[in-house]
Amino acid sequence: MKTLPELDKDSVLRVSRQGGVAAIHSLSRPREIEFAQCDISQRSRICSVLEGCLPLDSSESGRGDQRFYQIEVRYPSGEMVLKVPEDQAPGELVQLWDKGELL
């Protein structure tokens, strides 16, 4: 299983919804969150959501008509991509994708 690297103010998170029979770009609605724009509390909450998604990461995501959330994390020393099946996605991840923030 992947582990979440240390994320700091230079990290960027991008969440999009992918897959399905008709892959329509407007339905992916990518959201990009720059950690530099977040306070420490927001960063901690986002990291908790990402840690909860680590065991859900699946290379099988997107087969057939299954949708999935693609999470791209860019940080100073590299990049990580997770694919979480839509039917297993935590509510907080859906909220990040839908609103671009955790409420």
23-68 pLDDT per residue, tens? 555 566 899 999 999 999 999 999 999 999 999 998 775 566 789 9
| Percent of the chain surpassing pLDDT 70 | 88
HSE (CB half, 13 Å, CA atoms) of 55?
3
pLDDT at 21: 63
User: Residue 6 corresponds to which amino acid?
Assistant: E
What residues contact 56, with CB distance under 8 A and at least 6 apart?
A: 82, 84, 85, 88, 89, 90
Q: Distance (Å, rounded) from C-alpha 100 to C-alpha 6?
A: 21
Mean pLDDT (the chain) is 89
For residue 76, give the nearest of 2, 20, 4, 11 by alpha carbon.
11
User: Any idea which residue has 């299954």 for tokens?
Assistant: 66
User: Any idea which residue has 């997770």 for tokens?
Assistant: 82
pTM of the model: 0.87
